[in-house]
Amino acid sequence: MKFMMLVIPKGYEQAKPGTLPDPKMVENMMKYNESLQKAGVLLALDGLHPPSMGARVSFSGGKPRVTDGPFAEAKEVLGGYWMIQVKSKAEAVEWASRAPMSDNEIIEIRQVQDFSDFPPETQKHLGDFKDKQSPPRK
């Protein structure tokens, strides 16, 4: 089973452009990342720049509207994710519990959807879409 562990860092919604985690935080994170990798459960991970460097495209009346970050209304924003492969949600929870987070920070655990989760008709559409994505070739 694949899970995404989504990181919601405290105060990141207000972080200035170019804000990076402090070196101590990076060090702790690297240790944790290593523990995931050494346990053979880590598939992928990424960190995200703050919302002040991003934009939101919202939709209303069939029209997109662009708002540059930061977003005044946002209370919780993503700071990054881990994709892990484990036996159960309980195991993902246990891994998340061991992450080096500060008070009031959140890790949200979400299972990755599998092809077989969808009814056959939807699977067909998913298949049609994915068929158009070329796998890496040499």
Partner 1 sequence: MAAPDPRPAIDAVWRMESAGLIAGLTRMVRDVGLAEDLAQDALVAALERWPVSGIPEHPGAWLMATAKHRAIDWLRRDRLLDRKHQELGARLEAGASEAQDPEEGEIGDNLLRLMFMTCHPVLPAEGRVALTLRLLGGLTTDEIARAFLVPEATVAQRIVRAKKTLAEEKVPFEVPRGAELNARLSSVLEVLYLIFNEGYAATSGDDWVRPALCEDALRLGRVLSELAPQEPEVQGLVSLMELQASRLGARIGPSGEPILLLDQNRSRWDHLLIRRGLAALERAARLGGRGPYVLQASIAACHARAKAAAETDWPRIVALYDDLAERLPTPVVELNRAVAVSMAAGPAAGLELVDRLVTEPSLRNYPLLPSVRADFLKKLGRTDEAREEFRRAALLTRNARERELLLSRAAACGREGPPDPGSEG
Residues that bind partner 1 (CB under 8 A): 31, 34-35, 37-41, 43-44, 83, 85-91, 93-95, 114-116, 120, 126-131, 133-138
**Least distance from partner 1 to the Cβ atom of residue 47, Å:** 18
59/129 with CB nearer partner 1: 129
* Cα–Cα dist 84/35, whole Å: 12
- Asked if 109 and 89 touch (Cβ cutoff 8 Å), the reply is yes
- Our CB check for partner 1 shows the closer of 60 and 133 to be 133
- The least CB distance from residue 6 to partner 1, in Å, is 17
Residue 117 beta carbon to partner 1: minimum distance, rounded to whole angstroms: 11
Strand spans (E) along 20-102: 42-47, 55-60, 63-68, 80-85
Q: Minimal distance in Å, beta carbon 122 to partner 1?
A: 13
Contact 68, 55 (CB under 8 A): yes
Beta carbon nearer to partner 1, 67 or 122:
122
Asked if residue 9 has a cis previous peptide bond (ω within 30° of 0), the answer is: no
Rounded to whole angstroms, how far apart are CA atoms 57 and 102? 30
